[in-house]
Structure 1
């Protein structure tokens, strides 16, 4: 079932490459803040499609319409993420405050314990965040449903904590692997071009090719940024949230 979720999400994210470019433009303009909420609002629509769909159900990608509604949905998602994130941060700060008031040895032990507990709670909160967003989408966007801890826990219990953890670990591995491979391939291509230019430039009288070598390396960096921002990043975002939404449907 988990492999079916991945397969569906891979195909789903690649249905319309124009969508990836639009998300990339929003990402590029994210310093204006408003595009951040439009990105999260669109990702929410991906989740909404998934929780109301089925695996291999041939769902289309959401459209970029009703911008105001998309913005509002994005604000709701960001608030949900912040609220859940606050919990492990508060726990960490409490332990840090206690550790700072003790001597070095005991304080170090308390700090290590605090870090461990914060990480564990952070992982749980991350899972609750994603399931909370799915639960909100499944309940027609009811904001309060994102914080119905008991209901969300029941959803996770029904799916199975093991299935949830394995799915999330798989998503992390897949995301990091794809991003790394693409970055390495582009880096190798432009590195080879750069060294080739340097060798060729040193063999010429004018040395103009050698002067252009630095430009080739810079072009490689810019190409990596472009591909990550306009293709790989949006693709992996849709893939991840489609997978999360479909995981939620395993309890329905």
Structure 2
């Protein structure tokens, strides 16, 4: 089932290359902040289609319309992410404060325990946050549903804590592999051209710079948006397993 989610999401994300370009343009102007919320809002729509769709179905990619609604959806998702992130941060600083009042080995041990506890709580908070976002979206965007802890816990238990964790680890691995392979391939191609150009006296340095620029553009306009949709689609389909 997990492999089916990955397969579906990989294919789904490559349906319309023009969508990736548009998302890339939003990312390009992310320093203006508003485009970032539009990207997150678009991923909100991807998740919405996924939680109401089926694996290996014929779900369409979301359209770029109602930008105000997309912006608001993006803000809601970011607020949920921040809220869940606060919990492990507070726990970590509590342990740091306690360790600050201790000395020697005891202070070090307290800090170590604090890091371990924060890591565990962080994983739980992350899973709750991701499923909370899906739960919010599934319930017509009700922000309160993102913090309906008992309901979200039931969702995760229905899917399986271990299955959720393994799925997310797989998403991280796939994301890193795809990004690294594309970057490596483009880098190797232009490195070969650069070395050849240097040998022939054509200006290898310029070719290498061009390669770096193309690598950045491919990441910005294709790889980044593709992986963004891939992860959102996968999360939505994972949530849909318990419906």
Distance 2:120 2:212 in 1: 36
C-alpha distance after superposition, 1:101-138 (max 9, x if no partner): 22132211111111111111111111111100100011
C-alpha distance after superposition, 1:79-110 (max 9, x if no partner): 00000011111111111122222213221111
SS at match of 2:62: coil
Distance 1:105 1:239 in 2: 45
Corresponding residue of 2:231: 240
C-alpha distance after superposition, 1:168-198 (max 9, x if no partner): 1111111111111111111111111111111
SS at match of 1:141: coil
For 1:90-109, list aligned pairs within 5 A.
90-109=90-109
Corresponding residue of 2:34: 34
Distance 2:183 2:104 in 1: 43
The unaligned stretches of length 5 or more in structure 2 are none
Corresponding residue of 1:70: 70
Corresponding residue of 1:220: 211
The TM-score, its normalising length taken from structure 1, stands at 0.94
Deviation larger for 100-109 or 221-230? 100-109
Distance 2:135 2:80 in 1: 12
SS at match of 1:45: helix
Distance 1:192 1:112 in 2: 47
Deviation larger for 114-123 or 58-67? 114-123
Distance 1:46 1:186 in 2: 29
Distance 1:40 1:157 in 2: 27
SS at match of 2:215: helix
SS at match of 2:64: coil
Corresponding residue of 2:61: 61
Count of paired positions:
243
For 1:161-172, list aligned pairs within 5 A.
161-172=161-172
Q: CA RMSD in A?
A: 0.9
Moved over 4 A (4+): none
For 1:124-139, list aligned pairs within 5 A.
124-139=124-139
Distance 1:24 1:99 in 2: 45
Q: CA deviation at 1:7?
A: 1.1
Q: Who wins on radius of gyration, i.e. which is larger?
A: 1
Distance 2:118 2:33 in 1: 29
1:150 aligned onto 2:141 = no
The TM-score, its normalising length taken from structure 2, stands at 0.98
Corresponding residue of 1:200: 200
Distance 1:60 1:68 in 2: 21
Corresponding residue of 1:205: none
